[in-house]
């Protein structure tokens, strides 16, 4: 899967096979995350972003907003004991990644 991220530290692209790992990668730099639609290799700034990609995650938004975005992928977001957590819809298990394992975008 190819992703586009946009945040205060800039924007760019990266590839990742695992959606949750991609979310953690964007979350690490406080960036919004978009999944590029099939056939799109690069965002055309003159077209509407929603026609080129699907919004996946917005770190500045609340759990309900992000859960709506993640629902079609089988996930939701809630407040955990210390931090927000991403959980699977089918079994409510927390989906975690070691932060040291995510891509460093900046």
State pLDDT tens for residues 17-42: 989 999 988 888 899 999 999 888 88
- Structural domain includes residue 31: yes
Name the token pair of 21. Answer: 């790992």
- Structural domain includes residue 106: no
Domain carrying residue 16: 2-101
- Structural domain includes residue 41: yes
pLDDT 10s digits, 49-59: 778 999 999 99
- Structural domain includes residue 9: yes
- Structural domain includes residue 63: yes
Number of domains in the chain: 1
Residue 48's pLDDT band, with cuts at 50, 70 and 90, is confident
Between 36 and 99, the more confident residue is: 36
Helix (H) / strand (E) element for 34: namely: strand 31-36
């Amino acid at each position: 899967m190819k992703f586009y991220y946009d945040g205060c530290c800039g924007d760019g692209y990266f590839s990742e096979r695992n959606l949750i790992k991609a979310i953690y990668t964007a979350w690490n730099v406080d960036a919004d995350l978009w999944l590029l639609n099939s056939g799109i290799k690069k965002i055309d700034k003159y077209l509407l972003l929603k026609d080129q990609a699907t919004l996946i995650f917005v770190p500045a938004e609340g759990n309900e907003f992000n859960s709506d975005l993640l629902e079609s992928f089988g996930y939701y977001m809630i407040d955990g004991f210390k931090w927000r957590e991403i959980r699977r819809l089918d079994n409510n298990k927390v989906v975690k990644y070691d932060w040291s394992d995510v891509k460093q975008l900046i």
